[in-house]
Amino acid sequence: MKLVLDKQITPDQDNGIQTLLAQDGCVTCRITDAGQQVIGIVKKGTRKPEDYREEPGVAQVLPVSTAHKLVSREFKTESTRVTINNVVVGGDRIVVIAGPCAVESLDQAMTIAKQVKRYGAVLFRGGAYKPRSSPYSFQGLEKEGLKILAKVREETGLGVVTEMTSPSQAPLMEKYVDAVQIGARNMQNFELLKCAGKMRKPVVLKRGLAATIQEWLMSAEYIAAGGNTDIILCERGIRTFEPYTRNTLDLSAIPVLRQLTHLPIVIDPSHATGIREKVSPMARAAVAAGADA
């Protein structure tokens, strides 16, 4: 349920509504949607929708029927724009995000950053904490990697994005990077999602290897319910029977998400295909299907 407030609402009326909601035990979330003040009620109290309809200052009481409430298009009709270091994701321009799998050294990171910037990238992505399937593989430069990312930003002006694999990394992330990524393997690591919900950085939430669109949106809802609505959804290929590509890029998720959610959408054609020369055609297809980045 959501309350659309009157455009001429007085401060007293506003306070009155908030007091009522609080007394009723509701959990709420306030946003501006297409120029209107909206209060979303994610946990109901005992009062019914019609009880609020008569309150002074309330223009409309509307249902939100989806399980993913705060991230739904029903709750917020206007598309969300997420700003990462002055770059707007979800706006008029297609955003290119590029970088190496792992940050290996300052030299490697800086060289790649300058190259990708020259070819149009406006955000730099590289891993400092690497979720490797083998415990014996290189696990990333960790804090050292984050410092390198901060230096890349300083020197190139590119905003930097990196993966967070544990709530314990949150303070360092807040300090060094512009946005955090939650990887496919952690899409339903709910403790990590709760942590991301309390952060003051945008979150790029990758789709799990075999996650349905509905489960993915519920994971985004975890972050939003924690108070952080700067969320970007990243499709990176789903697991199917086809062995030729590493994963199967599900581009139909783009128009499906557009209808279900107000969050911006980024496509990762590199992880999805796993083959260098398939990246360009799939990136073009992603843009044609309506991706934001």
Which residues contact a copy of itself (rule: CB under 8 A)?
Answer: 42-43, 67, 69, 131-136, 165-168, 185-186, 188-194, 208-210, 212-215, 218-219, 221-222, 225-226, 238-245, 248-252, 254-256, 259, 272-273, 275, 277-278, 281-282, 284-290
String of DSSP letters for 68-95: S-TTBTTT--SPP-EEETTEEETSSSPP
Of the two residues 22 and 256, which places its CB atom closer to a copy of itself in the complex? Answer: 256
Of the two residues 112 and 164, which places its CB atom closer to a copy of itself in the complex? Answer: 164
Of the two residues 119 and 136, which places its CB atom closer to a copy of itself in the complex? Answer: 136
Of the two residues 42 and 59, which places its CB atom closer to a copy of itself in the complex? Answer: 42
State the minimum distance, in angstroms, from the CB of residue 47 to a copy of itself. Answer: 18
CA distances from 288 to 251, 274, 291 (A): 10, 21, 7
**Among 257, 84, 32, which residue's Cα sits nearest to residue 267?**
257
State the minimum distance, in angstroms, from the CB of residue 283 to a copy of itself. Answer: 9
State the minimum distance, in angstroms, from the CB of residue 74 to a copy of itself. Answer: 16
Of the two residues 205 and 251, which places its CB atom closer to a copy of itself in the complex? Answer: 251
Of the two residues 177 and 272, which places its CB atom closer to a copy of itself in the complex? Answer: 272
State the minimum distance, in angstroms, from the CB of residue 219 to a copy of itself. Answer: 8
**Among 261, 266, 250, which residue's Cα sits nearest to residue 218?**
261
Q: Angle at CA 38, nearest 5°, toward 32 and 42? A: 120
State the minimum distance, in angstroms, from the CB of residue 270 to a copy of itself. Answer: 12
Q: Angle at CA 193, nearest 5°, toward 237 and 85? A: 80
DSSP 102: B
Distance, CA of 213 to CA of 258 (rounded, Å): 12
Contact 127, 173 (CB under 8 A): no
State the minimum distance, in angstroms, from the CB of residue 33 to a copy of itself. Answer: 21
